[in-house]
Amino acid sequence: MSGGWNTIESDAGVFTYLVENLGVKNVQFEEMISLDAYSLKQQSPVYGVIFLFKYPVGEKKTDEAVDGQYDFEASENIFFANQTIQNACATQAILSVLLNRGDLQVGDSLRDFREFTQAFPAELRGEALSNSELIRDVHNSFARSSPFIDEGTRAATEDDDVYHFIAYTPVNGVLYELDGLQPSPISHGSCSDSEFCDKIIPVLQRRINRYPATEIRFNLLAMIQDPRIRASEIGDVETVTREDDKRKMWTWENELRRHNFVGFTHEVLKNVVASNLKEGKYDEWLNGAKEKAKQRMEERIKKGKKGEDIDE
């Protein structure tokens, strides 16, 4: 959609190259498979985490935070922006960490954006972010190419699976939850940089525990220092090589995301059909496909009937 924001994946390679394209240096993202402080500490220094979860569309807003406490005064001292446009939450969560860290090289463009919006209220900061051509264009450059999806064509309902990104990071000695859909930053108590890995885990566990035990669709990405920096300082050639190879793989995967393979798939199907016609096997191939489709349909019908018998 022209001028809009497209959905991007919760992926370490996407986020790492997204921030690099915004001018940020020496930052990398790592997906956390295990939710424990020890695993997170292995990635130190950790600047913050980005958490992806299924958003409860029908949940009613309350005057108090479900966990932690709203800190309206903090909005004046730290970077916090309300989310004013659909699909921008991933990049907004990333910026919520980057623009609150004085120890990161965020580049001239993001530094200027932070200074320009410093005196704005949260809603106006969100508008400024949404209207930033640089940030939007970099964000959209990592969206999957698709000729079928037109993002934002309708509002989400309670029946939809809607996912949302939020950030957690220590700012000025406080652990903050930065969620653009909330009215202000949410404080989870005192927290230094060195305490972050220990204190963020119970906060995340409490959030996950709000969901049924069957809900497993969560994703956690840690924003860390590029591991090659420390590895180079101590002469760890193996780690540098491994991380370089990882970066090459991420580059390849990001290039694939930018391509639309519908035309390629169409050409492959055309060649398959042409080959079968040439060999006189077209009818055999077509009938075989029909038979397989029929068998799959019969299996689904049988499973459906078994389900009805159990319910009765």
Rounded to 10°, the helix 122-130/107-117 angle is 140
* Neighbour-count burial of 57, counting CB atoms closer than 10 A to its CB (0-12 exposed, 13-18 middle, 19+ buried): middle
Contact 151, 139 (CB under 8 A): no
Q: Which of 89, 139, 188, 191 is catalytic?
A: 89
The residue length of the chain stands at: 312
Active site residue 259: no
Active site residue 164: yes
* Neighbour-count burial of 125, counting CB atoms closer than 10 A to its CB (0-12 exposed, 13-18 middle, 19+ buried): buried
Q: Which of 139, 164, 188, 197 is catalytic?
A: 164
Contact 16, 250 (CB under 8 A): yes
Amino acid code (one letter) for 147: P
Distance, in Å, from the CA atom of 96 to the CA atom of 126, rounded to the nearest integer, reads: 11
Q: Which residue numbers are catalytic?
A: 89, 164
